[in-house]
Amino acid sequence: MGSADIAPQMREIIAAVLSVGEEEVVPTARFFADLGGESIDVLELSFHVERQFGVKIEFNRLLAGDQIKTDEHGVVTPESLQWLAETYSFLPVEHLGSSPTPEAMKDLLTVDAITRLVDAARDTVPGGQRPADSAL
């Protein structure tokens, strides 16, 4: 089962978590900016993903985890951006520009990115479970 196979389920989960119509939950929709998600919604999303797919993903760690460092001006470091691009090649890191802030990182969390993160987590360990905390 790949991203395309779980996409309908992910659309349904995201729509339910955010109380929006499934027609709004398109692949390019940003969880926060376009769909109105808040930090608490990310926690609920993680809960539903774990329940539905058997994988634990802490989406908020992707946005502000140990791997995401900032410089003295509050700009995400090039090393952190490189790590994101290498670890999650499907994230549109190049769209963040040359001086992204941690707040701008939220734009990476699109419906497609969420679906692909879940799919990658399911493929990482036999049986669909993995220690997602270490990667996200």
* Predicted local distance difference test score (pLDDT) of residue 121: 87
SS3 68: coil
What per-residue confidence (pLDDT) applies to 134? 35
Task: Please name which of 24, 21, 48, 40 lies closest in space to residue 110, comparing C-alpha atoms.
Answer: 24
pTM, rounded to two decimals = 0.83
Q: Can you spell out the DSSP letters for 12-55?
A: HHHHHHHT--GGG--TT-BTTTTT---HHHHHHHHHHHHHHHS-
Q: Where are the domains of the chain?
A: 3-127
Q: What is residue 111's predicted lDDT score, i.e. its pLDDT?
A: 96
Distance of CA 88 to the CA centre of its chain: 10
CA distance 103 to 16: 24
Token pair for residue 96?
Answer: 């963040």
Give residue 1's pLDDT: 54
In the chain (136 residues long), the average pLDDT of successive 10-residue segments reads: 84 97 96 95 95 87 77 92 88 86 89 93 60 38
Residue 126, pLDDT score: 53
Taking a C-beta distance cutoff of 8 angstroms, is the pair 115, 7 a contact?
yes
Candidates 73, 75, 9; CA nearest to 45 is 9
Q: Terminal CA-to-CA distance of the chain, rounded, Å?
A: 22
The confidence score (pLDDT) of residue 92 equals: 85
Give the integer Cα–Cα distance in Å for 111 and 38: 14
CATH 1.10.287.10 applies to domain 3-127: no
